[in-house]
Amino acid sequence: MQYLTVAQARNLPGLRLVLTAHMPGPWGEAAKYVLRARNVDFVPVEQLAMEKNEELFAWTGMRNAPIAMYDDEPPQSTWLEILLLAERLGSGPSLIPEDPIDRALMMGISTEICGPDGFAWSRRLEMMGRGSTRNPSDGGKYDMNRMARTYGVSDESIARGPGRMISIMQGLAGQLKKQQAAGCAYFVGDRLSACDLHWAAFAGFIAPLPPDLCPMPDFMRENYTHLTPELADALDPILLEHRDRVYHRHIKLPMDF
């Protein structure tokens, strides 16, 4: 993927999507999948992992990714903001179910996957608290004080993370089994919705696709594939089957960073 710098992208019209350059961060991947599923074109803009990203902060008020910047509108950075932007700008089948109960279920599943105190949030805390988590080989290191302020890292939240992950994975597996019994291949209803794309993206946090489909730095793959026995037991095969089905039906492979 060819990225523009902040200086190159800042004054362009249309949608600019700030992504962590050349790394498969699950929040950024989820944003890409949602926008592409809704046929929304965007210009990739680089955010540099573990850097201060001062130019980005001056433009958006944020240092992290993803951030969607559409024309002169305010920045959109959460999974929900980016989903609603994709719905507004895009075309083709909606990623949000029309039925209000199905809509609520889809939103709830995505919140459990993507949101604060959710699956990926908890995985990030678990990785921060793990002594074996590797930094990039070039010597870059996480600013733990800043990350603590940003993500609410504490001994208590780190200790709570694995249990939240297990609970969420068990719930997701249970929903897929209910759907499978009803002859449905998706989390909600009988067609693709945003939570299917979100799970495909965030499953990479614990079970990334193989290197030929998902190239990534060695340190990231080591961090992402490290599972305690308890987490490994909670990773029901149906979750990976669903991930693979969504990728092969709806997401272009190999992944492009």
Residue 141 has pLDDT above 70, yes or no: no
Q: Mean pLDDT, to the nearest integer, of 37-57?
A: 95
Whole-prediction pTM = 0.93
What whole-number distance in Å separates Cα of residue 167 and Cα of residue 179? 19
pLDDT given at position 145: 60
pLDDT given at position 142: 53
Q: Mean pLDDT, to the nearest integer, of 24-36?
A: 95
pLDDT given at position 136: 58
State the fold for domain 100-250.
Glutathione S-transferase Yfyf (Class Pi); Chain A, domain 2 (1.20.1050)
What whole-number distance in Å separates Cα of residue 158 and Cα of residue 148? 11
Residue 85 has pLDDT above 80, yes or no: yes
What whole-number distance in Å separates Cα of residue 244 and Cα of residue 30? 15
Domain ranges of the chain: 6-89, 100-250
pLDDT tens-place string over residues 148-158:
666 677 788 88
What whole-number distance in Å separates Cα of residue 252 and Cα of residue 127? 28
Give long-range contacts, CB 8 A cutoff, 24+ apart: 211-216: 212/254, 213/247, 213/253, 213/254, 213/255, 214/24, 214/254, 214/255, 215/254, 215/255, 215/257, 216/23, 216/24, 216/257
State the fold for domain 6-89.
Glutaredoxin (3.40.30)
Task: Map residue 174 onto helix, strand or coil.
Answer: helix
In whole numbers, what is the pLDDT of the chain averaged over residues?
92
Q: Mean pLDDT, to the nearest integer, of 73-91?
A: 98
Residue 134 has pLDDT above 70, yes or no: no
CB-based contact 77:63 (threshold 8 Å)? no
CB-based contact 90:39 (threshold 8 Å)? yes
pLDDT given at position 150: 67
Token pair, residue 225, equals 């594939």
Helices assigned H by DSSP within the chain: 6-9, 26-37, 54-60, 79-89, 100-114, 119-128, 144-151, 155-181, 194-202, 218-225, 229-234, 237-250
Residue 247 has pLDDT above 70, yes or no: yes
Residue of 110 and 133 predicted with greater confidence: 110
pLDDT tens-place string over residues 164-180:
999 999 999 999 999 99
Going by pLDDT thresholds of 50, 70 and 90, the confidence category of residue 17 is: very high
pLDDT given at position 23: 85
Residue 147 has pLDDT above 90, yes or no: no
Residue of 63 and 130 predicted with greater confidence: 63
What 8-state DSSP symbol labels residue 205? G
pLDDT given at position 115: 95
| % the chain with pLDDT above 90 | 77
pLDDT given at position 143: 56
CB-based contact 123:203 (threshold 8 Å)? no
pLDDT given at position 137: 54
6-89 and 100-250, same CATH topology:
no
CB-based contact 201:33 (threshold 8 Å)? yes
Q: For residue 180, how many C-alpha atoms fall within 13 Å in the half-sphere facing its CB?
A: 11
pLDDT tens-place string over residues 190-220:
999 999 999 999 999 999 999 999 998 888 8
Hey, CA dihedral for 140, 143, 144, 148, is it positive or negative?
negative
Which residues have C-beta within 8 Å of that of residue 241, sequence separation ≥ 6?
none
